[in-house]
Structure 1
Amino acid sequence: MTRAVIIGCGNTGQRVARLAAARRWQVTGIVRSTDSADHLASAGIAAQALDLDQPDPDLPDADILFHFAPPPRTGDDDPRLAAVLTAYTERPPRRVVYIGTSGVYGDCGGDWVTEDRPINPQTDRARRRAAAEARLSGWPGPVAILRAPGIYGPGRLPVERVRRGEPVLADADSPWTNRIHIDDLASAAMAAAERGPDRAIYNATDGQPTPMGAAYRAIAQRLGLPAPPTISRADAERDWSDMRLSFLRESRRLDNRRLREQLGLTLQYPDLVAGLDASLSPDD
């Protein structure tokens, strides 16, 4: 029986756990707190609470290792991933699947971006992810890396911002943004585990980039609300937080042909319009 260990078994990890269980794999989800472990157990997922910021984590044996836990919020490395890989040095999994970020590409001026483009991380959080990728490049066994952009799905949409009528950047001033539905990201992780070649990197995206405001307008339309007002880039630079502004300073359009063709993955939600109905509940 294939043993799968999911490090950071949150929303995406739970979806992967269900897909793995359907294949009759033995699944263990690793989470930070006992409350999270209890939540997984109530969903029928075997769980273990571990603090990856402590040395020598006691991790179960794994044939397939999914690493979805984020790095710490400070620093320029990912010591959590380092601790996990060290724990498996003497008993390496057959394959490691890592979900990182498309932020490692940095600003690409709106160009179409394939996985062959050299990375150029320009924020601290992207540099931590780039360091994680570099660490995985030295791992002796097969590795697959999914570079994910914005992940959306149930409970992962800016519904309250749309309801409040918060402004969005005018399309003429907007960077290109990319996204993937959380169910498709889980399917991509499973496909990479089952049939991805060694040292493969994938843009885990639906391949349909839009200006930033397009998602807000589509949500408003689905909810029967007015389209959000727009503001100029100059006004956004004055009024928005540094974190939010950081996403305005990078523009790229992610190509997903490798994901679809090499893994043979058919996306359930190939664009935002297709995914919204599955992501908005009647209460929204």
Structure 2
Amino acid sequence: MSRLWIMGCGDIGRRVARLYQNQGVEATGWVRSAASLSVGVKQGLAMRLGDMDQGCFFPRNAFEEAEIFWLLPPPPSGGIDSRLRRFLLAVQGAPKRIVLISTTGVYGDCAGRWIDESEPLKPQVERAKRRADAELALQAWGNQYNGDWVILRVPGIYAAERLPLERLQRGEPVLLEAEAPWTNRIHADDLAQICVRAMQVAPKHSIYNACDGEPLSMTAYFNQVAQATGLAPPPQLSLAEASSVVSAGMLSYLQESRRIKNHKLLNELGLQLLYPNLAAGLKAVMRNN
């Protein structure tokens, strides 16, 4: 059986590992902090500690014929994903398959249009540009070594532990519904099963939008979370008003709008999502709390 590595084994990585554990398959998680290492060990995972920014990696033969989930985010600044590029340079043609977590942010602003995987990439903010560079690096690796890769473009991730409850409790404003951008999301458990399915059955060199296919406006998202959790709905501001009070990072999210199809994901991977929309996900959250 191929060796299985989860590079960047945080919350999503541990969910992926748990699915393999349920099948009796052991995964090795790679993390950058002792705290993350401890959490993985408590779950019963084989864990390794390393820092890609310092050029720390195992010998190439550690990844010989390995199946690798690359969940490690790019560095927080710059225009390239130097972590992934450094890793690919080290492992060369050793891995059997690499599944990369990217972002739907690589599409940039689509003015609310419905898009699929054929949409040209036009990342507008630095974090999305680094993700686009990671995709290019992985594709170049595949061309050089005949390497097998799959790319998952992921939108906002939510789960019981990943809801904007503190923001709602603080009463931070959102945009007027009429001005709010379209946003897309996926439940963390669904993303984990997508990762596993992509590793197991996706055709070589496939790209998928890993979303639930039922976008909402950003304002509708916050309102639904507030209603489900019994919190007050957030106040609403116009975009002109919000531009003077929200952070630059949040403003960049408000300036991108797209509705993303997931037909290819569901059809090619034969998937049935646990939570096909936010309402289903929030219902499960409240049932389990």
TM-score normalized with structure 2 length: 0.93
Match in the other structure for 1:105: 107
Paired residue for 2:264?
A: 258
CA distance in 2, matches of 1:282, 1:163: 21
Task: Give the counterpart of 2:90 among 87, 92, 99.
Answer: 87
| 1:75 counterpart (64, 70, 78) | 78
Matches within 5 A, 1:232-247: 232-247=238-253
Q: Do the aligned residues in 1 keep the contact of 2:50 with 2:56 (CA within 8 Å)?
A: no
Structure 1 counterpart of 2:107, one-letter code: Y
Q: Which whole-Å CA distance do the structure 1 matches of 2:26 and 2:228 have between them? A: 39
Quote the residue 1:182 is aligned against: 188
Counterpart of 2:70, as a letter, is: H
**Superposed displacement of residue 282, structure 1:** 7.5
The correspondence for 2:284, drawn from 272, 275, 278, is 278
Residue 80 of structure 1 and its aligned partner are, at CA, apart by 0.6
Answer whether contact 2:26 2:45 (CA < 8 A) is retained: no
2:227 is the counterpart of 1:221 = yes
The CA RMSD over aligned residues, in Å, is 1.5
CA distance in 1, matches of 2:95, 2:47: 18
Alignment partner of 1:123 out of 122, 125, 134? 125
How many residues align structurally?
282
Which runs of 5 or more structure 1 residues have no equivalent in the other structure?
Answer: none
Distance 1:282 1:26 in 2: 28
**Equivalent residue in structure 2 for 1:170, among 150, 153, 176:** 176
Determine if contact 2:17/2:26 at 8 Å carries over to the other structure. Answer: no
Partner of 1:53, secondary structure, is helix
Aligned to 2:207: 201
Question: Secondary structure of 2:244's match?
Answer: helix
Higher share in helix: 2
**CA distance in structure 2 between the aligned counterparts of 1:202 and 1:169, rounded to whole angstroms:** 30
Q: String of CA shifts for 1:131-167, please: whole Å, max 9, x gaps.
A: 1100111122111100000001121111112222222
User: Unpaired segments of 5 or more residues in structure 2?
Assistant: none
1:35 aligns to what?
A: 35
> CA deviation digits over 1:176-199, x for unaligned, max 9?
000000000011111110000111
Q: CA deviation at 1:279?
A: 3.4
Instruction: Within 5 Å, give how 1:16-31 maps onto structure 2.
Output: 16-31=16-31
Asked if 2 retains the 8 angstrom alpha-carbon contact of 1:112 and 1:252, the reply is: yes
